[in-house]
Amino acid sequence: MTLAVIPARGGSKRIPRKNIKPFCDKPMIGYAIEAALNSELFENVIVSTDDEEIKEIAIQFGAKVPFMRPPELSDDFAPTVPVIAHAIQHCDSFGYSVGEVCCIYPSVPFISISDLKIALDRLRVGDVEFVFPVAQYPSPIQRALLRSADATIQPFFRENVSKRTQDLEPSYFDVGQFYWGKGKSWQRELNLHLHSAAIEIPEWRAIDIDTSADWDRAELLFSAITERIQS
């Protein structure tokens, strides 16, 4: 069985109630649930939450919430992997035969069903435990600068000061949208970045929404894209 797990706790700090706050007139978590359901990749789409309001909204959008997440996995320091392992353990106890599992974060309005499918195909090649999307850094990290308290600048990597940017190897960052993994790999709580392959997505779809400014910028971009598609 392929399983989607959307981890959505209620206690977000930087943007209160972030996971169900209206984003372009829809609760944010609705985008993740709809993408999972519309992809037709999953036999079950569940939301792991500690919050009753999130549970109600998730069910309204068609997800299942067969258990509530315990407090020890719901604070600011709870890592993703144990949360997904906990969800798989519960699904096993329900009699599900869990195979491939995709963790989809709840704040991903720019998620692409095509990316979900491409990443699953890559996972099924069989040589890695996880697959997730990355985007290329807009500037070479080898030329990164350190700004001191007195505003003076020093390079992090002095050996690259004289190198041309086009001669430096491209670098990538985890965009934090979703992670496909083998069920047993999640249960073994393997490190995602040490046992993975990646698919590349365009930088404009790699939107991290952590602050109110991020939120406003993401809504403007999403609205512009939607208007263009509909016109």
Q: How confident is the model at residue 61 (pLDDT cuts 50, 70, 90)?
A: very high
| CATH T-level fold of 3-134+171-230 | Spore Coat Polysaccharide Biosynthesis Protein SpsA; Chain A (3.90.550)
Could you read off the pLDDT of 67-88 as tens digits, one per residue?
999 999 998 889 999 999 999 9
Q: Of 42, 68, 41, nearest to 56 (Cα)?
A: 68
Please answer whether residues 3 and 101 qualify as being in contact, where contact means their C-beta atoms are separated by less than 8 angstroms. Answer: yes
């993408």: which residue's tokens? 35
pLDDT higher than threshold 80 for residue 231: no
Pairing, β 145-147 against β 44-48: unpaired
Per 3-state DSSP, the chain is made up of helix, strand and coil in percentages (nearest 5) of 40, 20, 40
The predicted pLDDT at position 230 comes to: 73
The predicted pLDDT at position 228 comes to: 76
Show Cβ contacts of residue 124 under 8 Å, excluding neighbours closer than 6 positions.
100
Which residue type does 216 have?
D
Phi, psi of 206 (to 5 degrees): -95, 70
Which helix (H) or strand (E) segment holds residue 216: the answer is helix 212-230
pLDDT higher than threshold 90 for residue 7: yes
Could you read off the pLDDT of 91-136 as tens digits, one per residue?
988 888 899 999 999 999 999 999 999 999 999 998 999 999 999 9
Residue 219 CA to residue 213 CA, distance in Å, equals 10
Domain ranges of the chain: 3-134+171-230
Residue range 34-63: mean pLDDT, rounded: 98
pLDDT higher than threshold 80 for residue 229: no
Residue 204 CA to residue 190 CA, distance in Å, equals 29
Q: Residue 2, exposed/middle/buried by CB under 10 A (0-12, 13-18, 19+)?
A: middle
Output the six-digit token pair for 144.
């990164």
Residue 64 CA to residue 11 CA, distance in Å, equals 20
Question: The whole model's pTM is what?
Answer: 0.94
The predicted pLDDT at position 94 comes to: 86
Q: Residue 32, exposed/middle/buried by CB under 10 A (0-12, 13-18, 19+)?
A: buried
